Amino acid sequence: MIATKVEPMRKSTLFKAVAAACTTIMCLGFAACGSSDTKSDSSSDSSSSSSDSSSKMNQIAGVTATGEPGEKPTVSFKTPMTVEDNSYVVLHKGNGDQIEDGDRICTQGIAINVKDGSELMSTWEKNTPDCSTMVTSDTSQMTEDYYNIFKDQKLNATLAFGVNDSNSAGTSYLMVLTIVSKSKDLTKATGTKVLDVPADLPKVTLAKDGKPSIDMNGYKGSDTLISQDLIRGEGAEVKDTQTVIAHYTGWLLDGTQFDSSWDRGASSSFSLDEVITGWKQGLAGHTVGSQVLLVVPPDLGYGDKDSGKIPANSTLVFVVDILAAY
């Protein structure tokens, strides 16, 4: 993506978390862990450790959970125990809506040390679920095994995944995830058309599928950042620390297009900590569903250096559809 300092990762953070031993949830750090509901004994009075047979991943034995569906579970197992990467167990079957292909799921998580049963971290206490995972059959975003696991779940299901860090001087743990909500990402900006757009700005027209085209309208640029809603969405407000899913097109002031996610046929995912300053400042504060016209002066873009098709000292014009943020 042209607006990023570094190429954004295409796979969801949660998928990478479970598959490669580092999650968005875990990256919050082990500090300030919530009170533990973990039992490191062999007793268990409810909940089966049933797992889905459609996945070829190894299943974890001897782990159970009690508690109400959709609430923080109490997890039990004998300690010490060992776990393998790419292993899992379904601790609670959900009682809500079925997870479907294309659903973005939000999960509350607990990391539990398998050596002594201590809780390393939890998102439950501060209610900070991770919403980075898209359940999709697209293998560029999620492996077939993980897809088969998640697509068979319902809301409020709780699953545990093994993460074996023992060979890297780390801590092996169970990542216990409860699916608390789901949603579908937008495919284009959806909301209320803004009627009072300043007349001197570039004119944007939209194809039926939402792809923008632009008439620079004699526009000469701006020394300051312009961040103008063209469509005002009704979703949550974007924070400057979030990851955004967006469709966008970028032009130079002479009308030359230098990049477009629309032309690639897929939206883009990027952290606002990884994009040019004009994007970070220009998208924060807008709402999901909005379409935003950005005019980015050189000092908030690529400055005095060439970047691909963008010459040095270029003012950049973008039309960005904010499809999701998490």
Which residues have a catalytic role annotated?
A: 248, 258-259, 276, 302, 318
How far apart CA 173 and CA 183 sit, in angstroms, is 29
End-to-end CA distance of the chain: 19
* Residue 223 contacts residue 297 (beta carbons within 8 Å): yes
DSSP summary character for residue 199:
T
Distance from the Cα of residue 35 to its chain's centroid: 26
Spell out the residues 6+ positions from residue 88 whose beta carbon is closer than 8 angstroms to its own.
18, 51, 55, 57, 58, 59, 60, 149, 159, 160, 161, 162
Pairing label, strands 87-92, 58-59: parallel
Q: Is 271 exposed, middle or buried (0-12, 13-18, 19+ CB in 10 A)?
A: middle
Give residues with Cβ within 8 angstroms of 86, minimum separation 6. 18, 19, 57, 58, 145, 162
**DSSP assignments along 113-157, one per residue:** ETTT--EEEESTTTT--EEEEEE-S-TTTS-HHHHHHHHT-BTT-
